[in-house]
Amino acid sequence: DAGVIQSPRHEVTEMGQEVTLRCKPISGHNSLFWYRQTMMRGLELLIYFNNNVPIDDSGMPEDRFSAKMPNASFSTLKIQPSEPRDSAVYFCASSLRNLHDGYTFGSGTRLTVV
């Protein structure tokens, strides 16, 4: 099992550009989560999906952020347009729904917006 796979690992972009982060969850896991990590705010939940359906997107900071899960094996988090304050490490995690097995996190995407 390759675990949760995120790409890219690092992204540097200019303010105003569109950024797309990608995630492949563990096969068989039917819950997927996007978190953002900063020194000031820690790990913040942005959005999560159960069976590819968005359940709670109340953590998405602004309309500039959007997330999709077109199938059970792929999800994207898009920021358009990006701003310097979006600089953070973005993590994707997956888990089996209704089982308290914990989450498996990917290695994250470090985003820097200059």
Partner 1 sequence: QQQVKQSPQSLIVQKGGIPIINCAYENTAFDYFPWYQQFPGKGPALLIAIRPDVSEKKEGRFTISFNKSAKQFSLHIMDSQPGDSATYFCAARGANQAGTALIFGKGTTLSVSS
Q: Is 12 in the site for partner 1 (CB under 8 A)?
A: no
Q: Which residues contact 86 (CB under 8 A, 6 or more apart)?
A: 19, 64, 79, 111, 113
Tell me which stretch binds partner 1 (CB under 8 A): 17-25, 67-75, 80-88, 95-103: 95-103
End-to-end CA gap in the chain = 36
Tell me which stretch binds partner 1 (CB under 8 A): 11-19, 44-52, 63-71, 77-85: 44-52
Q: Is 43 in the site for partner 1 (CB under 8 A)?
A: yes
CB 105 within 8 A of CB 37: no
Q: Is 103 in the site for partner 1 (CB under 8 A)?
A: yes
Q: Is 57 in the site for partner 1 (CB under 8 A)?
A: no
Residue of the chain from 25, 31, 65, 94 that contacts partner 1 (CB under 8 A) = 31
Identify which of 80, 70, 104, 105 has the alpha carbon closest to the alpha carbon of residue 90.
Answer: 105
Rounded CA Rg of the chain: 13
Nearer to partner 1, 88 or 93 (CB): 93
Q: Considering CB under 8 A, how many residues would be counted as binding partner 1?
A: 23
